[in-house]
Amino acid sequence: MRRHIDFYLASMRIAVLEQIQYRAQNYFYMIGMIAEPVIYLVVWSSVANQQGGSVGGYTAGSLAAYYIVWTLVRNMNIVFTPYGWEWRLQHGRLSAELLRPVHPIHYDVAYFAGWKVVVIVLWLPLAAVLALIFKPTLNPTWLQVLVFFLAIWGAYLLRTMFLSLLGMITFWTTRVGAIYELYFALELILSGRLVPMTLMPAWVQRVAVFLPFQWTFYFPINALVGKLGPQELLSGLGMQLLWILGGIGLVNIVWHYGIRRFSAVGN
Amino acid sequence: MKLLKLTWSYLRIGIANEMQYRVNFFLQLLQSLVALATGLIGLWLVFSQTTNLAGWSQPELLAVMGVYILMGGVIQAGIQPNMQRLMEEIQEGSLDFALTKPVDGQIIVSIREFRFWQLTDVLVGFVVLVIAGIQLERQVSLWQALAFITALLLGGAMIYSFWLMLTSTAFWLTRVGEMVNLFQGLYAAGRWPVTIYPDWLRLTLTFLVPVAFAVTLPAEALTNRLTPLTLLGALGLTIVLLVLARIVWRLGVRSYSGASA
């Protein structure tokens, strides 16, 4: 256990030091990413205004809050991509990582977690600018803030597990881009990334409850922006935990069978 | 004449290359269809709440989406691969090989790569446009068709110039891989007509980063919104951008010091 904690702290520190050097690149990336929620926000605020002020229970102000918080949650949801797994396996990079005394996924989790610290710091001024432009209405309780803080890290772990699972498909096939795109499209629609789930048809909302997606986007955002009671907030965190544990279990199983198929020469 | 022959040769090499991997056509088609489906769902969600968005009806917005997909295909097939290769070569210092060729440098870096299978998006976009046309129940006049094609060409030229300027910053900044993400983010704004954005954003997306304007313009031609004056203005803007891109490219090459060869 102690060994793992040391490993995590060291990897996170390296990530912070490394990424702080690439501030400009990190900013380019974030600015490119912010276009997406701004587009959704503009479209849906104009729908809300045409409907006499609100759509699906969201006013222009709360939509602004939703999509500004969205930008942080989206950043927290950036994890080691399945395309990274594809590259790692096709180029035989995994061989070197297998020689280490810890599972390679620990490194992914630790490195990206360290990076998140830099991302959050860089995000703050961006959020301030967005808030000045779009004037969000946001008045969360202290419990909501606390749950939100836990939920974004929960979302981070959850998405790491599921994207790793997706990436490990490369153990069996070589061209997986199309599968990934399909997954991302489903996620876009069922997670609350495209629109708050209440704007979706009722049956879609019912289906989404049984899938992991909405616990990575809709729940963390709504924990801060929505009007969830203490019970809903805590049970939400519980659902995240369940999905994370399930994800870890699945990753272990798939890894167990996948790694037997892995054969590569290289460094 | 020589340039046309050169472009044709590169095009043929690109196509021949991609013909080796025919399964990729189906994978690409699948990806195009997934992207189309998500786009349609987004559109449908908006219109399940309202009947028009800032004065645009559903079939009209479908036409915008068609142009968006079509233009995206052109970008992915012919513009972006060239720009990404240029970025890498500037960073690694191997641009010498292109610059020493006996043709203009800007032309050669702009025609070297061609991803044939990405043209599936052009096909999908065209089909969407036809469906939008049927839903609009309007005859497309000869003048409209001409204006549409002109607008499409102007839009393509605008996007090319903008991309070249973005890429040319690599001459000074060296590592600009993130620009691809930046460009794609900005291009995504073209999914909706620029007129729905607040003023400051609309002006930015028209004059500073004309990527969304490039998509709205042809869609306006199809939906009877394009005045000859706007088209003329777009022509002026395109020329300005082409000249600007040329200047930035020339300045960049001047400060380029390769270390390969």
ipTM: 0.81
- At a CB cut-off of 8 Å and minimum separation 6, what does A33 contact? A71, A74, A75, B181, B185
Angle formed by the axes of helices B58-74 and B120-136, nearest 10°: 160
For residue B258, the model assigns a pLDDT of 66
**A202 within a domain of the structure (yes/no):** yes
User: From the CA atom positions of chain B, what is the Rg in Å?
Assistant: 19
* Chain A CB contacts of B30 below 8 Å: 178, 181-182
* Chain A CB contacts of B181 below 8 Å: 28-29, 32-33
- Could you tell me which residue, A261 or A237, shows the higher pLDDT? A237
* Chain B CB contacts of A195 below 8 Å: 45
- At a CB cut-off of 8 Å and minimum separation 6, what does B152 contact? B67, B70, B71, B218
Closest CA in chain B for residue A179: B31
Tell me the two tokens of residue B57. Answer: 């009806």
Q: Do B42 and A194 touch (CB under 8 A)?
A: yes
For residue B259, the model assigns a pLDDT of 59
Structural domain span for residue A224? 2-261
User: Distance between CA atoms of A186 and B38, rounded to whole angstroms?
Assistant: 8
Q: Do A51 and B50 touch (CB under 8 A)?
A: yes
pLDDT (tens place) for every residue of chain B, 261 residues total? 788 888 888 888 888 888 887 787 888 888 888 889 989 998 898 888 888 888 888 889 999 999 999 999 999 998 999 999 998 888 888 888 888 888 888 888 898 888 888 888 999 999 999 999 888 877 778 888 899 999 999 999 999 999 999 899 888 887 777 788 888 888 888 888 888 888 888 888 888 888 888 899 999 888 888 888 889 999 999 999 999 999 999 999 888 876 554
Say if CB B91 and CB B175 are below 8 A apart.
yes
Say if CB B58 and CB B32 are below 8 A apart.
no
Tell me the two tokens of residue B93. Answer: 């210092």
Q: Compute the nearest-CA separation of A51 from chain B (Å).
A: 7
Instruction: Name A54's bridge partners.
Output: A59
Number of separate domains in chain A = 1
* Chain B CB contacts of A182 below 8 Å: 30, 34
* Chain A CB contacts of B31 below 8 Å: 177-178, 181
Q: Do B178 and A25 touch (CB under 8 A)?
A: yes
- Exposed, middle or buried by CB within 10 Å (0-12, 13-18, 19+), for B212? buried
Mean pLDDT of A42-59: 86
Using one digit for the tens of pLDDT, what is the confidence trace for A217-232?
A: 999 999 999 888 899 9
User: Which residue in B61, B182, B197, B205 has the most chain A C-beta atoms within 10 A of its own C-beta, making it the best mutation to test that interface?
Assistant: B182
Q: Map tokens 């210092």 to a residue.
A: B93
Q: Do A28 and B178 touch (CB under 8 A)?
A: yes
Running DSSP on this structure, what letter comes out for residue B195? G
CA atoms within 13 A of residue B194's CA, in its CB half-sphere: 24
Taking alpha carbons only, the member of B27, B59, B42 closest to residue B191 is B42
Q: Compute the nearest-CA separation of A101 from chain B (Å).
A: 33
Tell me the two tokens of residue A170. Answer: 């490369």
Element (H, E) at B184: helix B179-188
**A267 within a domain of the structure (yes/no):** no
Q: Compute the nearest-CA separation of A46 from chain B (Å).
A: 7
For residue A264, the model assigns a pLDDT of 64
- At a CB cut-off of 8 Å and minimum separation 6, what does B260 contact? B92, B93, B94, B96, B97
For residue A144, the model assigns a pLDDT of 93
**A102 within a domain of the structure (yes/no):** yes
For residue A267, the model assigns a pLDDT of 47
Cα–Cα–Cα angle for B155, B16, B22, rounded to 5 degrees: 90
A43 → closest Cβ in B24, B46, B178: B46
For residue B1, the model assigns a pLDDT of 77
B45 → closest Cβ in A33, A185, A195: A195
A177 → closest Cβ in B27, B50, B185: B27
Tell me the two tokens of residue B104. Answer: 């203009």
Could you tell me which residues of chain A have a Cβ less than 8 Å from any Cβ in chain B? 24-25, 28-29, 31-36, 38-39, 42-44, 46-47, 50-51, 55-56, 175, 177-178, 181-182, 185, 188-189, 194-195, 199-201
User: Distance between CA atoms of B207 and A45, rounded to whole angstroms?
Assistant: 24
* Chain B CB contacts of A35 below 8 Å: 185-186, 188-189
The one-letter amino acid code at A263 reads: S
Q: Do B177 and A25 touch (CB under 8 A)?
A: yes
The least confident of A139-143, A171-175, B182-186, B205-209 is A171-175
**A266 within a domain of the structure (yes/no):** no
Q: Which of the four pLDDT bands, split at 50, 70 and 90, describes residue A90?
A: confident
**A35 within a domain of the structure (yes/no):** yes
User: Distance between CA atoms of B112 and B127, rounded to whole angstroms?
Assistant: 29
Q: Do B188 and A36 touch (CB under 8 A)?
A: yes
Closest CA in chain A for residue B42: A194
pLDDT reading at A157 higher than 90: yes
- At a CB cut-off of 8 Å and minimum separation 6, what does B57 contact? B51
Give the number of other CB atoms < 10 A from CB of residue B41.
Answer: 17
Closest CA in chain A for residue B33: A182
Q: Do B185 and A34 touch (CB under 8 A)?
A: yes
| Size of chain A in residues | 267
Mean pLDDT of all residues belonging to chain A: 88
For residue A218, the model assigns a pLDDT of 93
Q: Do B179 and A28 touch (CB under 8 A)?
A: yes
> How many CB pairs (< 8 A) connect A and B?
91
**A221 within a domain of the structure (yes/no):** yes
B181 → closest Cβ in A29, A39, A195: A29
User: Distance between CA atoms of B58 and B62, rounded to whole angstroms?
Assistant: 6
**A224 within a domain of the structure (yes/no):** yes
Q: How much of chain A is in helix, strand and coil states, percent to nearest 5?
A: 80, 0, 20
Using one digit for the tens of pLDDT, what is the confidence trace for A125-137?
A: 999 999 999 889 8
Give the number of other CB atoms < 10 A from CB of residue B256.
Answer: 18
Using one digit for the tens of pLDDT, what is the confidence trace for A65-89?
A: 999 999 999 999 988 888 888 888 8
Closest CA in chain B for residue A30: B182
Q: Which of the four pLDDT bands, split at 50, 70 and 90, describes residue A233?
A: very high
